[in-house]
C-alpha cells in the first residue's frame, strides 16, 4: 500500500501501540485518524502532531458503543472521501484464574476485544468493498496462538480474533480487501498497568492466590526484556506497505521463540515448557 493520499483509521490511540502506529503512519504520509474513547487522553499525541505538522486527525470513537462507531466512521468517510486502512488496536487485558472471573467481567472483556473489533470492521467493510480496495489490520497477540495461566479471558478473546480474521480473509479478498494479523509478544507499554484484575483474584484467600503471585513475579521479569511499542508499529508499517502482505506477523523476539518452539514440540512438551517458565 502506497501511503500517498491513503486514509488510515486507528483505534485505541491514547497510548502504547496505537499511539505509535498512528504516528508512524502519519509520519510516512498517511492521512491518519487517531481514534480513542476519551479525546482528552490524546493530548501528548496532539502536541507531537502539531509540532511535526503531521496529517494526523483526532476522532472520538468508543468501540463498545455501536452508535459511536457508526458516527465516527461516517464522519471520517464524509471528510476524507475514502478509508484505505483500518487498524483495530483497542483492547485491554483481564487477569485472573478462570474460576475467580465473574461472567460480567468476561463479557466486558469480550465487549472491547472482540465485539469492538467486529463493530469497527463491519462499519468499514462496505466502504472498502465499494472502493474495491482496503487493508484491515487486527492487533492480536502471541496469546492468540497459545494459552497461559491467569489469562483465560484475554487469551480466549485473541483466539477469537485469530479465527475471525482468518475466516473473514477468504470472504473479502475477492473485493480487493486484505486482512492482516499482528501478534505482539510482551511489550513495554502501560498495558499491564491498565489491565483489570478480577475482583475475586484480589482476595488473598483465593485458592489461586499463590498462582497469581507467581505469575506477577514472572511477568515483571519478562517485561525487562520486552519489545517496545515502536517495534510493533514498525512491524505494522512494514506489513501494510509490503507489496503482498502475509496473514500473520509476529512482533517480538519472545513470541517468535515460543511459536518456533511450539512448531517443533508436541502439545505435551510445550505445556511442560510453559509450566517451567
The CA distance from 58 to 181, in Å, is 24
Query: How much is the pTM?
Result: 0.94
Pick the CATH number of 7-276 from 3.40.50.720, 3.90.209.20, 3.40.50.2300, 3.40.225.10: 3.40.50.720
On whether the CB atoms of residues 165 and 145 are closer than 8 A, the answer is: no
Q: Would you call 154 a catalytic residue per the annotation?
A: yes
pLDDT for the residue numbered 4:
64
Dihedral, CA atoms, 224, 229, 230, 231, nearest 10 degrees? 70
pLDDT in tens, 27-79: 999 999 999 999 999 999 999 999 999 999 999 999 999 999 999 999 999 99
Euclidean distance between CA atoms 180 and 171, whole angstroms: 14
Residue 237 has pLDDT above 60, yes or no: yes
State the residue for C-alpha cell 480474521. 165
pLDDT at 171: 98
**Alpha-carbon distance 145 to 258, whole Å?**
10
- pLDDT, tens digit, 9 for 90 and up, residues 153-199: 999 999 999 999 999 999 999 999 999 999 999 887 655 566 788 99
- Give me the catalytic one of 33, 154, 208, 231: 154
Domain positions in the chain are 7-276
Task: Using alpha carbons, select from 75, 73, 156, 84 the residue that is nearest to residue 120.
Answer: 73
Residue 225 has pLDDT above 90, yes or no: no
Rounded to the nearest 10 degrees, how much is the dihedral formed by the CA atoms of 198, 107, 117, 89?
A: -10
Amino acid at each position: 500500500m502506497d501511503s500517498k493520499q491513503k486514509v488510515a483509521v486507528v483505534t485505541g490511540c491514547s497510548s502504547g501501540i496505537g499511539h505509535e502506529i498512528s504516528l508512524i503512519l502519519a509520519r510516512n504520509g498517511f492521512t491518519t485518524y487517531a481514534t480513542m474513547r476519551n479525546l482528552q487522553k490524546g493530548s501528548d499525541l496532539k502536541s507531537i502532531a502539531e509540532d511535526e505538522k503531521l496529517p494526523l486527525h483526532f476522532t472520538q470513537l468508543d468501540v463498545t458503543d455501536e452508535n459511536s462507531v457508526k458516527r465516527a466512521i461516517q464522519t471520517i468517510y464524509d471528510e476524507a472521501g475514502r478509508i484505505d486502512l483500518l487498524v483495530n488496536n483497542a483492547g485491554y487485558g483481564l487477569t485472573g484464574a478462570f474460576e475467580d472471573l465473574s461472567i460480567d467481567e468476561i463479557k466486558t472483556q469480550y465487549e472491547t476485544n472482540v465485539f469492538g473489533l467486529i463493530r469497527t470492521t463491519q462499519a468499514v467493510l462496505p466502504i472498502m468493498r465499494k472502493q474495491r480496495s482496503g487493508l484491515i489490520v487486527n492487533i492480536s497477540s502471541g496469546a492468540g496462538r497459545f494459552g497461559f495461566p491467569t489469562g483465560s479471558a484475554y487469551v480466549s478473546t485473541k483466539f477469537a480474533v485469530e479465527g475471525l480474521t482468518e475466516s473473514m480473509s477468504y470472504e473479502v479478498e475477492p473485493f480487493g480487501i486484505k486482512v492482516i494479523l499482528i501478534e505482539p509478544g510482551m511489550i513495554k507499554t502501560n498495558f499491564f498497568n491498565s489491565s483489570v484484575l478480577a475482583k475475586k483474584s484480589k482476595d488473598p484467600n483465593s485458592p489461586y492466590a499463590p498462582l497469581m503471585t507467581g505469575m506477577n513475579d514472572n511477568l515483571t521479569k519478562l517485561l525487562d526484556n520486552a519489545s517496545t511499542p515502536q517495534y510493533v508499529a514498525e512491524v505494522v508499517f512494514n506489513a501494510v506497505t509490503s507489496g503482498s502482505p502475509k496473514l500473520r506477523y509476529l512482533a517480538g523476539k519472545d513470541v517468535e521463540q515460543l511459536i518456533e518452539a511450539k512448531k517443533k514440540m508436541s502439545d505435551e512438551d510445550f505445556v511442560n515448557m510453559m509450566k517451567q517458565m
